[in-house]
Chain A
């Protein structure tokens, strides 16, 4: 048989069916003629005997089967026509479904890519984090010698690779730039199976001194800094003043491309850095095939015990931790936020479904006559349900397509709103096949959910009643009204639960924003000012250079104060050191408490506006040779000097040597002052209390400084002149990531802001949808009760009475829903409680606000139909039927 397009085949079938049946009639006619009838009689008799041509055709079509597609097309055509005939309904429905499905698809793409999908590495279950466990069970980076022992002695891992943060200044290009980077062991890339587009990754032995001047760079760095030079492999680049040969460029889609880092160099450990006290390394391992996590843990435990036995001074009580990458690469905060949002969009979609079911029910009543006529003409119930379902599916699929557009925009908007690197590099959030499938499935489900009940209802009409013009009898459709009312109650319930949750988050967010920072970020900018250790032979020379920069920037018009710090405010603790109080019982280094150490210029406190609680600040006399002076923060004072005056006490800390990773013997630092805590990690850390100390950069020089500048005007206006001043001192000095502290502050709330704002948007949508639902139900009930209202008016009810009657109706529905919603919100709030800051789960202000908002919403939704009811003229109303 010749292959034909289905549509042509169908036409051909139709033509043949027609001629087959017509031939029959004609033969009957000629037969009749033969038996002596007139032409006219013969034809008439033949037609009568044959019966309904179309009906027979239809039965033939049914009999030859394969035409369900036909019926479907017919249903779709009819459905489209119906939908086009009521554009108001169609547009509302499409927008509702579009928003509902779009929100779900957008959030799902995050959930899927961040949580559900396997990591984009070959056999990701074999990749493990390795870390040291301190005697107090907290985690710690690995000391260099311990790391080498682990690498050598373990039999459980194919590879153990160390890595450490190693930014580097790239020069020899147009503008010197600080590259974020890592130093990694030779097999680091092999553990992750990360491939290059050009060249290769490191090989065995390249992480040894002498062979380690090679680098692997990201594809984007290759494009941006080296203009996609095809001859990049083998090219020499200058990092921190030293020459490195580029041996590899990462493949474009590699997860490492989305990471924070741009350049990788081999991790070679210089002899002077071999130590058990210097905890600088992080490590990953790949389990050998067939080795279980438990076996690896047992083995590493044995190694830890033998190290602790051999080196008790540094390692007594320390252990080794192993954690599968799959379980640890997404922060709990991210996961929780995503689940909360997913639940929220799910609720929005449910509300949307309830709303649509409601509108469709209302339409079902309007269309009752149509359906009844069709049923009377012989349409089977199944056929009617199918027709009505086709309509809702048509809507939900078109809405789903619209939703894809919304989702596309939503994903882009959310990605733009979240802080950089908040998502794990492994997650490549985009509209992919899985999201598409999810959307299609959701559209189908939506269509069924909101279409099925109305379809079942509408296909079982009371024929005689409906066909008669009536249909608006006072007692009619009681159960249907109950159904619609319960749908509205569900909507209001869901919306108020959502509102409660977002209300709690908003309250918490507002409180977070008012958290005491410990400094004043107004008009302050900060920028990294990295200087390679190799550039200056001594700390004094380095400080001379840095102070030159300080003086130059400080002299700028508009600059109030300028300071150096080893770690910018809200930029994390930076250095951390074990310490002990002189005079208390001696503890070995391995078991001392830790505090953060900030090396600052004495102007630091003034510049960022920190408050001194006791004693004096650091000053220009705290230089090398003078008594080592330290200002401690309040957390340290409270925790370690609960009953004493800390001023004059001494802290013993290993000497931090310039340009060396090894620490010297203990040095005593005299406490000269106590400063109020400054926030270290950002605002999202709920109960931060980190003991810390401040020392001058003269007494403790090091090269990774940042510049903080307070302007007498908006800091953004100063950025250019600050950069110029720095470059006047040294044109190759990098100023990294200059930004206002206000910006860091708001970024540190990124996670909270994201979930709060997204959840608020969704609750607003939910509120709007339920308002529409309520409006629909109340308006319809007013139309239905026209006659009743007419009678009441005739019996003397005032328009105020009628207004109250209708309003009470709406308020009652809202009240029931509200009660259910708030009660369930109390349950849901359990899951939110860890996200809340200084807000009770049962926050009465939030609950009160939600009740208020919903009541206002109910009033607004009901007032229009209520006023319409109040204006009903009794004479007209009674003639209504």
Chain B
């Protein structure tokens, strides 16, 4: 299981978090589960990376947080995108598009 886990590219974690949070207010555990599910278990987010990243994004005012009741009935910290966060997500998405396209092109050359 350990070996299957992909190392995330530097900076991609932030983008993934922003993307997941863009779907609606969500708390930390749910974020990691959602990423895991959507990537079909290919991406497992280490808690040691997730939470510092969340706090960093909050500090940069890309995320805002709110405490409210979670499904379990306990108070949980729900993150949502700020306007700046939405903009940042757009920028990172297009960057990523360009980057992955570029990498795809390069890889195709290699195969041929």
Contact = CB atoms under 8 A, between A and B. Distances in A.
Interface string B41-55: 000001110011111
A59 B67 contact: no
B48 A64 contact: no
Interface in B38-92: 46-48, 51-56, 58-59, 67, 70, 72, 74-77
Contacts of A49: 47
Interface in A44-88: 49-52, 55-56, 59-66
A55 B51 contact: no
Interface string B17-54: 00000000001110010000000000000111001111
A776 B36 CA distance: 63
A464 interface: no
B46 to A, nearest CB: 7
B76 A60 contact: no
B53 to A, nearest CB: 7
Contacts of A59: 48, 51-52
Contact of B77 (A20, A61, A63): A20
A794 B4 CA distance: 67
A63 B59 CA distance: 7
Contacts of B51: 20-21, 24, 56, 59-60
Contacts of B55: 60-61, 63-64
A254 B52 CA distance: 62
Contact of A24 (B28, B53, B56, B58): B28
A75 to B, nearest CB: 22
B62 to A, nearest CB: 12
Given A24-B29, A63-B53, A55 B48 contact: yes
A65 B52 CA distance: 11
B27 A23 contact: yes
Given A16-B67, A51-B46, A56-B51, A64 B77 contact: no
Contacts of A62: 52
B100 to A, nearest CB: 27
A280 interface: no
A28 interface: yes
Contacts of B28: 20-21, 23-24
B47 A23 contact: no
A560 interface: no
Contact of A51 (B27, B48, B72): B48
Contacts of A61: 55
Interface residues of B, number: 22
A64 B59 contact: yes
B72 A64 contact: no
Nearest to B46: A51
A743 to B, nearest CB: 72
A56 to B, nearest CB: 5
B56 A56 contact: no
B54 to A, nearest CB: 8
Contacts of B52: 56, 59-60, 62-63
A64 B56 contact: yes
A539 B35 CA distance: 116
Contacts of B59: 63-66
A30 B72 contact: yes
Nearest to A20: B77
B47 to A, nearest CB: 5
Contacts of B58: 64
Contacts of B54: 60
A30 B59 CA distance: 30
A19 interface: yes
Contacts of A60: 51-52, 54-55
B26 to A, nearest CB: 12
A27 interface: yes
Interface residues of A, number: 24
B72 to A, nearest CB: 7
Given A49-B47, A51-B48, A59-B52, A23 B74 contact: yes
Chain B binding surface SS class: helix
Nearest to A66: B59
A574 to B, nearest CB: 81
A877 B68 CA distance: 69
Contact of B76 (A20, A30, A52): A20
Nearest to A31: B33
Interface in A270-329: none
Contacts of A52: 48
Contacts of B74: 23, 26
A19 B51 CA distance: 12
A62 B59 CA distance: 10
A49 B36 CA distance: 14
A56 B72 contact: no
A130 to B, nearest CB: 68
Given A49-B47, A51-B46, A63 B29 contact: no
A30 B55 CA distance: 25
Contacts of A20: 27-28, 51, 76-77
Contacts of A30: 72
Contacts of A23: 27-29, 70, 72, 74-77
B15 to A, nearest CB: 17
A61 to B, nearest CB: 8
A63 B72 contact: no
Most buried by B among A20, A26, A50: A20
Given A63-B52, A64-B58, A28 B46 contact: no
A167 B27 CA distance: 89
A21 B53 CA distance: 13
Interface in A238-256: none
A606 to B, nearest CB: 93
A269 B18 CA distance: 93
Contacts of A16: 67, 77
Interface in A30-45: 30
A20 B28 CA distance: 8
Q: Which of B32, B47, B58 neighbours the largest number of chain A CB atoms within 10 Å of its CB?
A: B47
A19 B47 CA distance: 14
A322 B52 CA distance: 73
B19 to A, nearest CB: 19
Given A20-B28, A23-B29, A24-B29, A56 B53 contact: no
A41 B47 CA distance: 19
Contacts of A24: 28-29, 32, 47, 51
A23 B30 CA distance: 11
A63 B29 CA distance: 18
B77 A27 contact: no
A27 B72 contact: yes
A55 B47 CA distance: 11
Given A24-B32, A63-B53, A64-B55, 19 more contacts: A20-B27, A20-B77, A21-B47, A23-B27, A23-B28, A23-B29, A23-B77, A24-B28, A24-B51, A27-B72, A28-B29, A30-B72, A50-B47, A51-B48, A55-B48, A56-B51, A59-B51, A60-B52, A63-B59
Interface of A: 16, 19-21, 23-24, 26-28, 30, 49-52, 55-56, 59-66
25 contacts: A16-B67, A16-B77, A20-B27, A20-B76, A21-B47, A23-B29, A23-B74, A23-B77, A24-B28, A24-B51, A26-B72, A27-B29, A27-B72, A28-B29, A50-B47, A51-B46, A51-B48, A56-B48, A56-B51, A60-B52, A61-B55, A64-B55, A64-B58, A64-B59, A65-B59
